[in-house]
């Protein structure tokens, strides 16, 4: 039995290698050696530009225009600006036509900053600029600047989100800082505007509101602007200690003259230390070439975030600098390129849009005078620094 079983098994083995039916030879198996196609590379996240970290929104047609954030807009961290916090702003002799108005305040500009220099080091922030909207689609020349602190872990998540938002605004190019092209094309309720508002309300609110500064304009025959602010910690407000001003307010007065310009700053400050030379066109004309050049260099340093952090400066120097530098350059032939040690430089296009270089009646740094955009050189320079910092620390993957 064992021998028969062995033979039978051998017979089955032979059958396994026998030719197929009809005596045909089986076809050879052909192996496909074509390589699998390479997977499509994932799209590279877009790099950020000036208009991604500093956003100037279009002027609303009226206070009722939808899509604009208000003081009462709220997200996970509470209202952007509770009435009780707003009510701490002191009263000034500002005519109602240009004063602040809580119900009419709208967010018209915002800025992301990954490293606002403090004595304790870097602090990531979101900053919002609010101005009151008139019924005729213009902005009053008064404003609030609100600061919201961001923890490091939120900053790491914020940068990829800013890149995602960049993808929602194909109209935006790496252009100079200007009114945001995506918002102009899509409106505030378009894809980009909706996502931007959602982002703001997810990271900003009463819980992390740490500073509020104000800018008020009074327009009698002599125009007067008041600057001041409050620090906020544990829900308590204290008057802001402004560099070289103290725990008070700084005032800028413009006197109307037939030609040129005339500003008075009270109190004057040591930065820029030679500012008086350029505060009036008459003083600039009476100065020596050396005095004008020293004052011009000092104002250039005020516009340079590598020379001074914002907390090392008083309000007036930053707000006056763009106009004063342009007027001095035009009248006396001074050029920014002649002061490489003082002027800010960058690979970004730092040219200015809007009317800040020509309008003596506007000290706006990032916002609107009536319906005209006003963008200060300091804001452009800071935006370039922010983009470079974020791209270096959080490169696109």
Whether residue 20 is contained in a domain is answered as no
Q: Indicate whether 24 belongs to any domain.
A: no
Residue 82, both tokens: 């509770």
For residue 322, tell me if it sits in a domain: yes
* CA 370 – CA 365 distance, rounded (Å): 14
In a domain, 209, yes or no: yes
- pLDDT over 70, % of the chain: 85
pLDDT in tens, 105-156: 999 999 999 998 777 778 999 999 999 999 989 999 899 999 999 998 999 9
Tens-place pLDDT, residues 168-195: 999 988 789 999 999 999 999 999 999 9
Instruction: Tell me if 39 is assigned to some domain.
Output: no
- Residue 23 counted as domain residue: no
Domain assignment present for residue 385? The answer is yes
- pLDDT of res. 228: 87
Cis ω for the linkage preceding 267 (within 30 of 0): yes
How do residues 253-306 score in pLDDT, each as one tens digit?
A: 998 888 999 998 887 766 566 668 999 999 999 999 999 999 999 999 999 999
Q: What is the mean pLDDT of residues 57-79?
A: 96
pTM, rounded to two decimals: 0.86
Tokens of 120: 């304790």
Residue partners of 108: CB distance under 8 A and separation at least 6: 56, 57, 59, 68, 129, 130, 131, 139, 367, 368
Q: How many domains does the chain have?
A: 1
Task: Give me the pLDDT at residue 92, please.
Answer: 75
- What domain range is 199 assigned to? 50-393
75: in domain: yes
């Amino acid at each position: 039995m064992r021998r028969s079983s062995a033979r039978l098994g051998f017979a089955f083995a032979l059958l396994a290698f026998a030719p197929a039916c009809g005596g045909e030879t089986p076809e050879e198996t052909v192996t496909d050696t074509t390589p699998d196609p390479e997977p499509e590379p994932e799209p590279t996240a877009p790099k950020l530009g000036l208009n991604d970290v500093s956003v100037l929104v279009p002027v609303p047609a009226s206070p009722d225009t939808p899509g604009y954030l208000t003081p009462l807009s709220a997200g996970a961290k509470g209202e952007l600006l509770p009435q009780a916090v707003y009510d701490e702003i002191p009263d000034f002799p500002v005519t109602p036509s240009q004063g602040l108005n809580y119900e009419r305040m709208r967010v018209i500009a915002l800025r992301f900053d990954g490293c606002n220099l403090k004595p304790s080091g870097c602090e990531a922030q979101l900053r919002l600029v609010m101005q009151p909207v008139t019924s005729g689609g213009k902005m009053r020349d008064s404003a609030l600047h609100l600061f919201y602190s961001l923890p490091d872990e939120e900053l790491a998540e914020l940068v990829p989100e800013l890149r995602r938002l960049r993808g929602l605004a194909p109209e935006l190019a790496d252009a100079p800082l200007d009114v945001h092209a995506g918002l102009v094309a899509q409106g505030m309720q378009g894809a980009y505007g909706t996502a931007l508002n959602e982002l703001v309300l997810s990271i900003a609110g009463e819980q992390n509101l740490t500073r509020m500064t104000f800018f008020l304009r009074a327009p009698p025959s002599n125009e007067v602007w008041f600057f001041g602010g409050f620090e906020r910690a544990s829900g308590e407000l204290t008057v802001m200690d402004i560099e070289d001003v103290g725990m008070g307010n700084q005032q800028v007065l413009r006197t109307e003259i037939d030609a040129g310009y005339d500003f008075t700053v009270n109190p004057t400050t040591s930065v820029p230390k030679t500012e008086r030379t350029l505060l009036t066109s008459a003083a600039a004309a009476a100065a020596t070439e050396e005095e004008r050049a020293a004052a011009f260099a000092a104002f250039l340093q005020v516009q340079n975030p590598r020379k001074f952090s914002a907390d090392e400066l008083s309000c007036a120097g930053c707000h006056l600098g763009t106009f004063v530098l342009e007027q001095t350059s035009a009248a006396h032939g001074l050029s920014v390129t002649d002061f490489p040690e003082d002027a800010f430089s960058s690979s970004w296009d730092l040219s200015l849009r809007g009317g800040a270089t020509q309008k003596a009646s506007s000290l706006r740094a990032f916002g609107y005078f009536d319906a005209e955009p006003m963008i200060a050189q300091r804001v452009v320079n800071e935006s370039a620094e922010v983009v470079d910092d974020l791209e270096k620390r959080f490169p696109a993957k």
